[in-house]
Amino acid sequence: MTEILRHPIVLKKLQTEIRGVVGRKEEISEADLEKMHYLKAVTKETLRLHPPIPLLVPREAREDVKIMGYDIAAGTMVIINAWAIGRDPAYWDEPENFKPERFLDSSVDFKGHDFQLIPFGAGRRGCPGIAFAVASNELVLANLVSKFDWQFPGAQGKELDIKECPGVAVRRKIPLLVIPSPLP
């Protein structure tokens, strides 16, 4: 929500898409979510910039390998930095900017096959709850965006502090405070 509210053009595009697909229906279905391509792009971009667990669980190298000129011996503990990978300029144009449009014509996904976007890990050790987590988040976000307009009581858009706190899962350092206005 923070990134969407910081970028009013993204919010407006998202509202237009969701309200266009859903209309005046009371409930958003999974079939509706499948038609929301911009919502999926916003989800991917959010997970790229704000992975839920930025440093993935340590892994042990199974064999001797050479990566980017570094020799890594079998048995070495390796920690994957998903946060840094999501901001790597070798993979991303303007990596610090929130641009969901980058995913509209892209096949890159977060399911563990595209290693430039791994908020849930990759391979055999990827998170088994990816589908549930993403569907839940998309459904909640679609409902929040389609049924409400949002106003700030204090800081506006780009002024919002987006610092994060580490922990088992990442969270905002300062809670997001906004006022929802139900649609008539």
**132-164: pLDDT as tens digits:** 989 999 999 999 999 998 887 765 656 777 888
What mean pLDDT value characterizes the chain?
Answer: 88
What is the pLDDT at residue 177?
84
Q: How far is CA 161 from the centre of its chain?
A: 17
Beta bridge mates, 176: none
165 is known to lie in a ligand binding site = no
DSSP 81: B
Taking the CA of residue 68 as centre, how many other CA atoms within 13 Å lie in the half-sphere pointing to its CB? Answer: 0
pLDDT, block means (10 residues), the chain with 184 residues: 91 94 88 95 94 81 91 91 91 95 91 84 82 92 92 69 79 85 82
Class of domain 1-182: mainly alpha
Residue 43, helix vs strand vs coil: helix
Q: At what angle do helices 37-49 and 8-22 cross, to 10 degrees?
A: 140
Q: Which of 84, 58, 100, 80 is nearest to 108 (CA)?
A: 100
Query: In the chain, what are the domain boundaries?
Result: 1-182
Amino acid (1-letter code) at residue 71: D
Phi, psi of 181 (to 5 degrees): -120, 110
